[in-house]
Each structure stands twice: as structure tokens, then as C-alpha cells.
């Protein structure tokens, strides 16, 4: 891997709780407020347990990333893993793919936030209000992260509290409506469209990979990141299980397809409950957005550091010690996509792009293990059972990709091609003789 252009310029201001907030906000976004009904249509009373089963399977991927992260203490995450194992082009392609998935997700979720706010009051409805909400949120989060990683983490912490608290209250109030037959269904059940349903469930858990991107700004990353990865997934899976359990206990089967957690809140506490859950959705999406714009720009920064993109992207703000240009580019791209609505088809392909990144990262583990020096091996979070866990995770990713449609693959090819053009330009610039 090429030598970094700006070594150790970023401040290590992210601790264990900050890393956990980042992982939680990456996974708990808009999905939990929309997925329960969609999954229940196909899985019925098995939905809560299906969330747990998928989470248990998905932990094989997360555990693999936990070990990968323990070999590094620099910014970049997936970019570093793929570059170490397969070379700069693979590293760039992996980083570019995951970066695009985060940008399109940011654009999509900012629109969802505007939609939820519109349900609160007519003043938030309409195209002008929608554009204003998206612009204010995107520009505000962009500036908060340029001003310093501590401000970005504090913003995430506030959003995390504001979105988790209403969900926990919903669970505590709703558990009294859970019966034994709902918790443990006695009749045999079949899950319709298992592949499609699983893809929906996977969407609830993705996003964790951006945690490794911020290793260069994390305190003791080789110890902190594995704990944050595993703890966040376990906490998220348990929360999903309880929320969906309350959902299927309060919502009748004929209403699964149209119901959301807002309907659950209304059943539990009337209009006040509906408003509380609506606000929780807004805060949840806000936390997800703040996590995205904190982590995703570090991918571009890392690729510029490793001479995969022009050095301009690797600039560090002289006062705030943040990758300011990469953050501004991320905010600008997301804002344009969100306001124009052209992000829709990109969002459909984002899950495929992310899975491709997962596959490359998992496949890089043998080379990273083999090439690590003795000091790195002693500090690493080494998985038990050899390669059993990574192989299971790899199989899950491949099976999920098999569920994808042709149009998604076309979109992915176009997106990757755009990135390869930027990569070729940087390589051409580096190869030119200096005067």
C-alpha cells in the first residue's frame, strides 16, 4: 500500500461509546420504522424470530469485520483490507462501492425524514418545505462534521438518545400485550418469498462497515472497534426482536401491509403515541444521516491518502483537523441526489454494491492474517474455528447476491465504471513525468 500523504493529522477523538453510537446509527435508521409490516406480510408471527435468526447469521459477517479492523489503526476500513490483500484497484473499487452505497442511502433517508415531518404538520408538507428540510439537514450535518469529529459524535449521541428512548418506551408499554401464543407460535408456519424477505431483513443490519473507516480517529481502535461491532449488533438485534414482537401482538394480520410503528404508538397511547413514534423516526433517520456523513467521507479521504484519488480529497482542515473537502463533497453529492430524486434507482442497487464490498473484505482475511507481523497478530481479535465463521459469512453474501435482479447489476456496473474513471485519471496524473 502506498504511503499516506498526511499521516497522523486526524485526531483520535472517538472512544468506545462514540464508536458504538456510530455503529448503532448506521444500522438503526429508517428500516425499523418501515420493515415490521413488510416482513410480517410474509412471515407473520415468525417475524420477530426471523429478525433474530437473520441477525445471528449476519453476525458471522460482523465478526469477520471485527477481526479485520483489529489489524489496523488507520483510516479507511474496507479500503485498507482490500488493498492489502488484492492491490490498489481492488481497494479502490471496494471503497468506492461502499462510499456510493452510503451517499445514496443518505439521500434516500433525508427524503424519508422530510416525509415523516410532513405527517406532523401541513407546514412541513409541499415541495418547497421538502427541499428546505433536506437542505437544512444536509448542510447542517455537513458543517457539524467539518467543525470537528467531536461535534459529529455529539450530534450522533443526541440523535441516538432521542430515537432509542421512544422505541424502548414502545417496547415497555407493548410487552403487556404479548401473549404466550404470540411469543412462541404453536402452529406450523411457512415464510413466503424467503429470499426477498431476507433481503429486507438484511437492510436492517447493514451499515456497520463504516465503523472501521473511522479507525484513524478512534482511540485504541484495535481494541475498541471489535467490541463496538459485536456489542452494537447484539443490541440492535435484541431491540428489533422486541419491537417486531410488539408489532405483531398489536396489529392484526390483515393490516400488516399498511401498518407502521406509528400505528403501534397510536394503539398504545393515542395521538400522543403516534406523534412520539413519528418524532422517533425523524430522530432515528437523523442519527443515521449523522453517522453516514461522519464515516463515509473518510473513505474518500483514505483513498486520496493512498493515492487512489487526487490529493485534493485528502486535505485536512488546518483548524478543525477534519477531512473537510471529503465531507463537503459527500454533503454536496447527497444534497443533489436528494433534491432531484435521481437517487431512487441508485438506492435500489446500493444493497448489491454493499454486498460486493463485503465479499471482497471477507476474502481478504487470509492474506491479512498471513502477512501480519508478530506484533499485529498479538493485538488482533482472532476468530475461533479458523475460517469457519468467515466462510459462513461469505456464503450468506453470495446467496443474497443471487436474489438480485438484472437492473441492479446494470446500475452497479455503471457506478463502478465512474469510479474506475477517477482512479485511471489519478494513476495517469501520477505517471506523468514532473517538469
What pLDDT shows up at residue 426?
Answer: 83
Q: Is the pLDDT of residue 347 over 70?
A: no
Q: Is the pLDDT of residue 258 over 90?
A: no
Q: Given phi > 0 = left and psi -120 to 50 = alpha, else beta, which region is 364?
A: alpha
Q: Is the pLDDT of residue 148 over 60?
A: yes
- Residue 6 burial (C-beta neighbours within 10 Å; 0-12, 13-18, 19+): middle
Instruction: State phi, psi for 306 to the nearest 5 degrees.
Output: -100, 20
Length of the chain: 435
Dihedral over alpha carbons 400, 406, 411, 413 (to 10 degrees)? 80
Higher pLDDT: 141 or 407? It is: 141
Higher pLDDT: 247 or 99? It is: 247
| pTM confidence score | 0.75
pLDDT digits (tens, 9 = 90+) for 39-81: 888 888 888 998 888 888 888 998 898 888 888 776 667 888 8
Q: Is the pLDDT of residue 4 over 50?
A: no
What pLDDT shows up at residue 188?
Answer: 57
**Rounded distance between C-alpha atoms, residue 394 and residue 135, angstroms:** 39
pLDDT digits (tens, 9 = 90+) for 156-182: 667 777 778 888 888 999 999 998 888
CB 69 within 8 A of CB 56: no
CB 91 within 8 A of CB 79: yes
3-state DSSP assignment of residue 14: strand
The angle, 0 to 180 degrees and rounded to 10, between the axes of the packed helices 149-174 and 221-250 is 30
User: Measured at the alpha carbon of residue 293, what is the angle toward residues 127 and 302, in degrees to the nearest 5?
Assistant: 140
CB 36 within 8 A of CB 171: no
What pLDDT shows up at residue 61?
Answer: 92
As a three-state string, the secondary structure of 243-273 is HHHHHHHHCCHHHCCCCCHHHHHHHHHHHHH
Task: Cite the DSSP H helix spans in 306-405.
Answer: 324-340, 343-371, 374-379, 388-402
Neighbours of 368 (CB within 10 A): 20
pLDDT digits (tens, 9 = 90+) for 21-38: 666 666 776 667 767 888
**Rounded distance between C-alpha atoms, residue 145 and residue 138, angstroms:** 11
Higher pLDDT: 241 or 77? It is: 241
Can you give the C-alpha Rg of the chain in angstroms? 21
CB 207 within 8 A of CB 105: yes
Q: Is the pLDDT of residue 322 over 50?
A: yes
Higher pLDDT: 362 or 67? It is: 362
Neighbours of 362 (CB within 10 A): 25
* Superfamily name with CATH number, domain 16-428: Amino acid/polyamine transporter I (1.20.1740.10)
Residues 6+ apart with CB under 8 A from 11: 149, 217, 321
Domain ranges of the chain: 16-428
Query: Which helix (H) or strand (E) segment is 56 a member of?
Result: helix 47-69
Q: Is the pLDDT of residue 149 over 70?
A: no
Give bridge partners of residue 14 from the DSSP assignment.
218
Give bridge partners of residue 218 from the DSSP assignment.
14
Q: Is the pLDDT of residue 348 over 70?
A: no
Q: What average pLDDT does the segment 78-92 reach?
A: 88
What pLDDT shows up at residue 415?
Answer: 76
- Pick from 101, 104, 136: nearest CA to 117: 136
Q: What percent of the chain is modeled with pLDDT above 90?
A: 16
What pLDDT shows up at residue 133?
Answer: 92
Q: Is the pLDDT of residue 350 over 80?
A: no
**Rounded distance between C-alpha atoms, residue 336 and residue 354, angstroms:** 21
pLDDT digits (tens, 9 = 90+) for 302-313: 788 778 888 888
As a three-state string, the secondary structure of 217-247 is HECCHHHHHHHHHHHHHHHHHHHHHHHHHHH
Amino acid at each position: 500500500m502506498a504511503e499516506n500523504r498526511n499521516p497522523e493529522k486526524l485526531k483520535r477523538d472517538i472512544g468506545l461509546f462514540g464508536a458504538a453510537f456510530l455503529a448503532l446509527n448506521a444500522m438503526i435508521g429508517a428500516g425499523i420504522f418501515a420493515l415490521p409490516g413488510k416482513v410480517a406480510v410474509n412471515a407473520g408471527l415468525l417475524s420477530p424470530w426471523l429478525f433474530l435468526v437473520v441477525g445471528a447469521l449476519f453476525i458471522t459477517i460482523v465478526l469477520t469485520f471485527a477481526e479485520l479492523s483489529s489489524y489496523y489503526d488507520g483510516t479507511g476500513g474496507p479500503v485498507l483490507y482490500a488493498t492489502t490483500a488484492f492491490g490498489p484497484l481492488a481497494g479502490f473499487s471496494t471503497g468506492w462501492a461502499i462510499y456510493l452505497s452510503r451517499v445514496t442511502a443518505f439521500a434516500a433517508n433525508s427524503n424519508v425524514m422530510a416525509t415523516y415531518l410532513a405527517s406532523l404538520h401541513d407546514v412541513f408538507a409541499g415541495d418547497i418545505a421538502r427541499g428546505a428540510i433536506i437542505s437544512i439537514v444536509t448542510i447542517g450535518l455537513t458543517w457539524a462534521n467539518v467543525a470537528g469529529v467531536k461535534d459529529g459524535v455529539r450530534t450522533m449521541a443526541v440523535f441516538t438518545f432521542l430515537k432509542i428512548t421512544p422505541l424502548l418506551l414502545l417496547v415497555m408499554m407493548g410487552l403487556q400485550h404479548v401473549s404466550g401464543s404470540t411469543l412462541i407460535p404453536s402452529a406450523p408456519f411457512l415464510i413466503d418469498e424467503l429470499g426477498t424477505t431476507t433481503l429486507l431483513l438484511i437492510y436492517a443490519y447493514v451499515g456497520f462497515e463504516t465503523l472501521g473507516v473511522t479507525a484513524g480517529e478512534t482511540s485504541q481502535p484495535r481494541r475498541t472497534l471489535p467490541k463496538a461491532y459485536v456489542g452494537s449488533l447484539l443490541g440492535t438485534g435484541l431491540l428489533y426482536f422486541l419491537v417486531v414482537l410488539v408489532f405483531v401482538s398489536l396489529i392484526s394480520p390483515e393490516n400488516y401491509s399498511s401498518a407502521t410503528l406509528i400505528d403501534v404508538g397510536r394503539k398504545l397511547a393515542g395521538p400522543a403515541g403516534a406523534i412520539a413514534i413519528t418524532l422517533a423516526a425523524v430522530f432515528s433517520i437523523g442519527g443515521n444521516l449523522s453517522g453516514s456523513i461522519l464515516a463515509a467521507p473518510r473513505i474518500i479521504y483514505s483513498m486520496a491518502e493512498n493515492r487512489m484519488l487526487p490529493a485534493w480529497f485528502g486535505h485536512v482542515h488546518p483548524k478543525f483537523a477534519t477531512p473537510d473537502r471529503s465531507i463537503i463533497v459527500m454533503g454536496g453529492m447527497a444534497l443533489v441526489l436528494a433534491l432531484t430524486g435521481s437517487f431512487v434507482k441508485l438506492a435500489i442497487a446500493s444493497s448489491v454494491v454493499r454486498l460486493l464490498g463485503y465479499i471482497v473484505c471477507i476474502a481478504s482475511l487470509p492474506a491479512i492474517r498471513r502477512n501480519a507481523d508478530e506484533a499485529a497478530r498479538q493485538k488482533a481479535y482472532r476468530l475461533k474455528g479458523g475460517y469457519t465463521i468467515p466462510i459462513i459469512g461469505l456464503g450468506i453474501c453470495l446467496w443474497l447476491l443471487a436474489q438480485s435482479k438484472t437492473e441492479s447489476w446494470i446500475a452497479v456496473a455503471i457506478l463502478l465504471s465512474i469510479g474506475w474513471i477517477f482512479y485511471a485519471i489519478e494513476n495517469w496524473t501520477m505517471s506523468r513525468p514532473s517538469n
